[in-house]
């Protein structure tokens, strides 16, 4: 069973962003599945590395799209900081969970962060100012 179920409510209207969000959901669900199956920490750590690497690429796409859409540079800077903090937190939590504890905290962080990242921005929290952009970007 997936920890995070994709729903049309998460759609931004930008096909590449939506596709990448779905891939992030898929990777996080793989982490949850592997933890549930008591997979060795080394394998879980590898999936977490894939998550961070994929997230960095996705974040670049989002930030470029926001700039192309004419979003306020302050919004882009704030969004970029949120992206960097996510990657940093996953790395820290991966190290902590690799020490034999913190796995549940990591899973809770991943699913909560993803929901807030996708749905929070879709619902208006941090959405680009309508005067600067016609569309929302996750």
Using the structure block, give the residue that is written with the tokens 């962060």: 113
Q: How confident is the model at residue 126 (pLDDT cuts 50, 70, 90)?
A: very low
Q: Given a cut of 60, is residue 128 above it in pLDDT? A: no
pLDDT of 95 above 50: yes
pLDDT of residue 98: 56
Q: Report the length, in residues, of the chain.
A: 138
Alpha carbon 68 to its chain centroid, in Å, reads: 21
Phi, psi dihedral angles at 87 (to 5 degrees): -60, -45
pLDDT for residue 28 is more than 60: yes
Render pLDDT for 1-14 as a digit per residue (tens, 0 to 9).
677 888 888 888 88
Report CA dihedral (36, 41, 44, 49) to the nearest 10 degrees.
160
**What integer is the mean pLDDT of 5-26?**
88
**3-state DSSP of the chain:** CCCCCCCHHHCCCCHHHHHHHHHHHHHHHHHHHHHHCCCCHHHHHHHHHHHHHHHHHHHHHHHHHHHHCCCCHHHHHHHHHHHHHHHHHHHHHHHHHHCCCCHHHHHHHHHHHHHHHHHHHHCCCCCCCCCCCCCCCC
pTM, two decimals, is: 0.77
Q: Residues 47, 34: contact at Cβ < 8 Å?
A: yes
Taking the domains of the chain in order of start, what are their residue ranges? 14-122
> What confidence score (pLDDT) does residue 135 get?
42
Classified by CATH at the fold level, domain 14-122 comes out as: 1.20.120
Neighbours of 72 (CB within 10 A): 14
Two tokens, residue 16: 């590449």
């Amino acid at each position: 069973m997936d920890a995070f179920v994709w729903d049309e409510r998460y759609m931004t209207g930008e096909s590449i962003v939506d596709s990448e969000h779905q891939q992030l959901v898929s990777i996080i669900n793989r982490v949850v599945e592997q933890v549930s199956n008591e997979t060795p920490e080394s394998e879980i750590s590898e999936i977490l590395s894939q998550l961070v690497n994929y997230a960095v690429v996705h974040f670049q796409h989002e930030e470029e799209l926001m700039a192309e859409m004419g979003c306020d540079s302050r919004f882009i800077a704030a969004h970029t900081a949120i992206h960097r903090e996510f990657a940093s937190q996953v790395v820290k939590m991966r190290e902590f969970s690799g020490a034999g504890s913190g796995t549940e905290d990591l899973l809770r962080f991943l699913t909560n962060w993803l929901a807030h990242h996708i749905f929070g921005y879709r619902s208006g929290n941090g959405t680009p100012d309508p005067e600067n952009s016609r569309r929302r970007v996750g």
